[in-house]
């Protein structure tokens, strides 16, 4: 049984490259809305097939009312012993959730703090989406940052100045060698 839960229909901002997503974007603007879910009794083989067919790396496990009961990732499935065993044996019961109306930095903070790549998005405690570290990277990618000072090849300022002079073809007077007495 394949469960698909979705939030109200709205287009994800980064699907149209001409539209920029603001850096203060809400999770609702970035999350995957067509989230594929499974239940505890589904087999490892079934969930692995769902991941492969839908090209996803994490599937939230939901309870009977649509709340988050756990999450299974492709890394969890690599460690799975039996294909016929229930996914509840390999899933992480500690699932991190975030409300859809929060700012994207909240999801980023959860991911960094707990060293995870997926956070389940909820509305009134029901799973409505999934946000991944790739969704957050896409947000940063849409806003190309320019460094205040360009990095140099060497940490020695005089060495980098010499290399810059050489690359520009600057002809300075040759340095005199110190006499050794």
Count how many domains the chain has. 1
Residue 150 lies in a domain: no
Residue 87 has pLDDT above 90, yes or no: yes
- Bridge-based pairing state of the strands 97-99 and 68-73: unpaired
Residue 77 lies in a domain: yes
| Residue-level pLDDT at 50 | 95
Tens of pLDDT, residues 16-59: 443 555 567 889 888 888 899 999 999 999 999 999 999 999 99
Torsion 121-116-12-140 (CA) sign: positive
Which one is predicted more confidently, 143 or 28?
28
- Whichever domain contains 74, its CATH number is 3.10.580.10
In this structure, of 44-53, 129-138, 162-171, the range with the lowest mean pLDDT score is 162-171
Range of the domain at 63: 24-142
Which one is predicted more confidently, 86 or 18?
86
| Residue-level pLDDT at 169 | 52
Q: Which of 63, 59, 20, 24 is nearest to 40 (CA)?
A: 63
| Residue-level pLDDT at 152 | 63
Residue 66 lies in a domain: yes
| Residue-level pLDDT at 109 | 95
Residue 121 lies in a domain: yes
Residue 174 lies in a domain: no
């Amino acid at each position: 049984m394949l469960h698909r839960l979705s939030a109200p229909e709205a287009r994800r901002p980064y699907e149209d490259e001409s539209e920029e997503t603001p850096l203060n974007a809400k999770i609702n603007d970035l999350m995957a809305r067509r989230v594929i879910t499974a239940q505890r009794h589904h087999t490892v083989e079934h969930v692995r097939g769902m991941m492969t067919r839908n090209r996803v790396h994490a599937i939230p496990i939901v309870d009977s009312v649509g709340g988050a009961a756990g999450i299974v990732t492709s890394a969890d499935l690599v460690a799975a012993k039996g294909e016929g065993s229930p996914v509840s044996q390999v899933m992480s019961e500690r699932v991190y959730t975030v409300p859809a109306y929060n700012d994207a930095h909240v999801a980023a903070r959860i991911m960094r703090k707990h060293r995870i790549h997926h956070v389940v998005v909820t509305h009134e405690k029901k799973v409505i989406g999934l946000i991944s570290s790739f969704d957050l990277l896409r947000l940063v990618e849409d806003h190309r940052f320019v460094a205040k000072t360009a990095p140099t090849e060497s940490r020695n300022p005089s060495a980098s100045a010499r290399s810059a002079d050489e690359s520009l073809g600057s002809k300075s007077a040759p340095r005199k060698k110190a006499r050794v007495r």
